[in-house]
Amino acid sequence: MLTLLAIVGVVSHRTILGLIDDSQWVSHTHVVLELLQRVSFQVTQAEAAVRGFVITGNSSFEAQYLDDKQNIWPLISELRLGTSDNPNQQKIVSRLESLIKERFIVMDEGIQIRKSGGLNAVLAQSKNSRGPTLSLQISALVAQMRGEENRLLSERNLREQKSSSRAFVVALLAVFLAMAAVLGSVLLIFRDLTRGREVDRLKSEFVSIVSHELRTPLTSIHGSLGLLASGLLGGSAEKGKRMLEIAVNNTDRLIRLLNDILDIEKLESGKIQMHPLPCDSSELLSRAAEVMTPMAQDHHIAIHLSNSSKIINADPDRILQCLTNLLSNAIKFSEAGGIVIMRATPAGENLRFEVADQGRGIPLDKQEAIFERFQQVDASDSRRKGGTGLGLAITRSIVQQHGGKVWVESQMGKGSTFFFTVPLANTAGQIPTSESNSDAPIITATQ
């Protein structure tokens, strides 16, 4: 396509140059025709001036004649130059020049005779004069040259018309080709995009199917291992028990990973719909704290929460999922004895949830990246802390589907605070804020 466009470009360039050339030839012919006209006029005017002088003897006629005589030669030179492309016309110009010279010699003689012998002497001499014959020959030559130029003019006009039609067709073709090229590129890009989308769809479908297929047998293996590890089925070797516990933990992690993969795939492909309804923020915070209490106790972390209540318009199960994700991270990445604070404060038309810890902190250059899938500050985090690397990606997806934002502020060694916003419900019917309980620690998981 590009080669074709280049060829059309070259052809149109040449066609346009040809068109310009043809038009120049047409105007050139007009110039020659005008010159012929002026030469003929100049001779006729000189003859009239001589006639005037002969009849009246008035010197102003002689002055006019001398003027005309002087003006004719530059015109002849121009004519010679203008017809330099045509050898035939050049020959005629030479002939014309010598005839005009002769004609002026005859006219000079006439003036001299009038001056020396008066009108009668001129009349007597005029019977033998070559003047009229020369005039006729000059007119005939001018007519011959004009005929040739008119022939050239119609030839060149025809050529110019053909060139302009050709230029029009070539320009039209170039426009069509350019349009086809643009259309073709758009179609190609569109096809690539569709292909890319199709590949993405197949990939997420594949991930879903594999995760589903793995989850069922894994859950049953997990159950059986759990039973064995509990010792209910007999068998008491300490080492064996320890092995079983490790196996249970690992299957546990795998099931969590599969659940998270399925969750994020469904969230991002829009298969999970949010069901927003008015719900109480303090209830959500309490439930999240309750759910995470066993984990907090394991890690010797205290959970404090600000118990002011606001009504938000959100899917309660999904907001709970976000809060437990953030809470679980805050507990995992804190030292024993640390405190995690959860609160929610209004911010314009939104409610802003916060989960703040006093843990290890997150370096500035990772504070955006950790919201992407499988991004961790430390590559060993998932193994050592038991995470999947998907919790924050899931949280972000849920928050965005509520029209909110999620972000983190953190200082290394001092702790991190995760924030996310969700829209407040219409203020009418909102449960009044219970300021009295604000910031009261309702759960303390330290021993």
Of 138 and 362, which has the nearer Cβ to ligand ADP? 362
One of 36, 49, 314, 362 touching ligand ADP (CB under 6 A):
362
Number of neighbours of residue 315 by Cβ within 10 angstroms: 19
Cα 154 to the center of its chain, rounded Å: 50
How many degrees, rounded to 5, is the angle at CA 410 between CA 407 and CA 411? 165
One of 61, 104, 333, 353 touching ligand ADP (CB under 6 A):
333
Q: Should residue 263 be labelled a site residue for ligand ADP when binding is judged by CB under 6 A? A: no
Of 134 and 301, which has the nearer Cβ to ligand ADP? 301
Number of neighbours of residue 221 by Cβ within 10 angstroms: 15
Name the minimum Å distance from CB 402 to ligand ADP.
Answer: 18
- C-beta separation of 272 from 311 below 8 A: no
**Helix, strand, or coil (residue 408):** strand
Name the minimum Å distance from CB 300 to ligand ADP.
Answer: 16
In one-letter notation, the amino acid at residue 67 is D
How many degrees, rounded to 5, is the angle at CA 121 between CA 120 and CA 123? 60
Question: Which residues within the stretch 413-442 sit at the binding site for ligand ADP (CB under 6 A)?
Answer: 416
x/- map, 370-399, ligand ADP, by CB under 6 A: x-----xxx--xx----xxxxxxx------
**Helix, strand, or coil (residue 344):** strand
Distance, CA of 118 to CA of 54 (rounded, Å)? 8
Q: Should residue 321 be labelled a site residue for ligand ADP when binding is judged by CB under 6 A? A: no
Q: Should residue 268 be labelled a site residue for ligand ADP when binding is judged by CB under 6 A? A: no
Of 79 and 289, which has the nearer Cβ to ligand ADP? 289
Owner of token pair 């205290």: 302
Q: How many residues bind ligand ADP (CB under 6 A)?
A: 22
Distance, CA of 356 to CA of 409 (rounded, Å)? 9
Name the minimum Å distance from CB 445 to ligand ADP.
Answer: 16
Q: How far is CA 138 from CA 1, 99, 115, 346, 445, in A?
A: 62, 7, 27, 107, 127
Name the minimum Å distance from CB 299 to ligand ADP.
Answer: 12
Tokens of 111: 């003036």
Q: Should residue 259 be labelled a site residue for ligand ADP when binding is judged by CB under 6 A? A: no
Distance, CA of 410 to CA of 136 (rounded, Å)? 110
Cα 165 to the center of its chain, rounded Å: 35
Q: Should residue 360 be labelled a site residue for ligand ADP when binding is judged by CB under 6 A? A: yes
Name the minimum Å distance from CB 201 to ligand ADP.
Answer: 24
- C-beta separation of 343 from 306 below 8 A: yes
- C-beta separation of 444 from 302 below 8 A: yes
Q: Should residue 329 be labelled a site residue for ligand ADP when binding is judged by CB under 6 A? A: yes
φ and ψ at residue 349, rounded to 5 degrees: -90, 5
Residues paired with residue 423 on neighbouring β-strands, in sequence order: 350
Of 333 and 353, which has the nearer Cβ to ligand ADP? 333
Q: Should residue 249 be labelled a site residue for ligand ADP when binding is judged by CB under 6 A? A: no
Name the minimum Å distance from CB 230 to ligand ADP.
Answer: 27
Of 213 and 409, which has the nearer Cβ to ligand ADP? 409
Name the minimum Å distance from CB 394 to ligand ADP.
Answer: 8
Q: Which residue's CB atom is positioned nearest to ligand ADP?
A: 387
Name the minimum Å distance from CB 391 to ligand ADP.
Answer: 3
Name the minimum Å distance from CB 259 to ligand ADP.
Answer: 12
Q: What residues make contact with ligand ADP under the rule CB under 6 A? A: 325, 329-330, 333, 357, 359-360, 362, 370, 376-378, 381-382, 387-393, 416
